[in-house]
Amino acid sequence: MAVLLLGTLDTKGAEYAYVRDLITAAGQEVVLVDTGVMAGARALVPDVAAEEVAEAGGESLERLRSAGDRGAALRAMAAGAARIARDLHEQGRLSGVLALGGSGGSSIAAAAMAALPVGLPKLLVSTMASGDVSAYVGQSDVTLMYSVVDVAGVNSISRQILGNAAAAIAGMAAAYDARSRTGPTGDDRPLVAATMFGVTTPAVDAARARLEELGYEVIVFHATGSGGRAMEALIASGYFAGVLDLTTTELADDLVGGVLSAGPDRLTAAGAAGVPQVVSLGALDMVNFGPMETVPDRFRDRNLLVHNPTVTLMRTTPEENAELGRRIGAKLAAASGPTALFVPRGGVSAVDVPGGPFHDPAADAACFDAVLAAVAGGDVQVVESADDINKPAFAVAAAERLHELIQKGTA
């Protein structure tokens, strides 16, 4: 097994030579892949040439060079790099990936890393790592290291950064190699995904405890946009035996324009894959913004709640809740696998209960009515409760129903 060194050798040959030598000195083999497009001699001879990367991305390197379209070249090399990385992993040849770059090189490397499974070490040394890195990380477990200086030569500062990067990937690769040789040594119980927010924590804690009693390992995702996207990606990759999606709040941010949206594809992966799922309406009473001063002016007359100095919550309206109900119901009705909907008529969050700042029975009813109408007459099992979502009985019943759906699917 080897560390994949992935980068633009047309401009960064000296840097890659430096880290390659450090990695091999640490006892790891290296596969060097050239993603550079520019013509000219390379200081390093790659194991996979740029021509091969372009062809893997459905292009020819000569055509990319003659076209002079940097964006198209980056897309083609990113697609090719992703395919090569995936193929090497499927052949059992990879123990880690390291890349160095600016914005363009980082985008190519990020595409390749996203094509690889969670758990395989991925380290990206980038000039972009001190800003908004969501485009590079996505739903992958990429480790980012800020290059501090440009990746442009080996000097007294970059030598330290690149040296740390080489040592880090060598160490991670060695640990990955060891795990691969010994095989799984940890928890081998079936995995269940669950979604949680601060205002639904009691529900998820109770449900998780019951599922663990029933023999599952529960992986909890924080419903912060990135958490929902990561869960959807892992569901699609086949990690989970079932999904306990009690906290669908990210859909409210997607609808209204909050900062924690997981995008329009949230709540689709389990249905598409036929994975058993139990879904509820947790925290649909709120949309998330940053500090109070960042709330858009058009929302300043709404019911706002300062959750903490960096998070401001906004109560959803009956009209918004009705649309959320319709959207959720349509997604559940389209599911190909066993699906149950749990409706907590006593409230959808810790602050949506009698006396709570977001208690609004009319808004909740709009959501409940719409989602029930959308799933009526279909295969979605519906369980309605007078409890609020955080009552232990509600959460335990949802966990037990998921267990029943999973068991029926494996019988």
Each residue's pLDDT tens digit, 330-388: 999 999 999 999 999 999 999 999 999 999 999 999 999 999 999 999 999 999 999 99
Query: Quick check: 345 and 317 in contact, CB under 8 A?
Result: no
Has residue 410 got a pLDDT over 70?
no
- What tokens appear for 110 in the block? 């990020």
Q: What is the pTM of this model?
A: 0.78
Rounded to the nearest 10°, the torsion over CA 388, 390, 395, 397 is -30
Residue 183 has a pLDDT of 64
Q: What is the largest CA-CA distance in the chain?
A: 72
Q: In the β-sheet with 191-196, what is the strand arrangement from edge to edge?
A: 217-222, 191-196, 242-245, 277-279, 339-344, 381-385
Tens of pLDDT, residues 80-101: 999 999 999 999 999 999 999 8
Please, are residues 74 and 92 in contact by the beta-carbon 8 Å criterion? no
The span from the CA of 85 to the CA of 89, in Å, is 6
Q: Note the pLDDT of residue 237.
A: 85
Domains, the chain: 2-182 (3.40.50.12020), 191-410 (3.40.50.12030)
pLDDT for 118 = 86
pLDDT in tens, 306-326: 988 899 999 999 999 999 999
Tokens representing 21 are: 């030598």
Instruction: State yes or no: pLDDT of 411 exceeds 60.
Output: no
Q: Is the pLDDT score of 201 beyond 70?
A: yes
Look at 42-46, 104-108, 118-122, 301-305 and tell me which has the smallest mean pLDDT. 42-46
**Residue 184: is its pLDDT beyond 60?**
no
Nearest Cα neighbor of 34 from 24, 20, 25 is 20
* Cα gap 261→327, rounded to integer Å: 14
Q: How many CA atoms lie within 13 A of 337 on its CB side?
A: 24
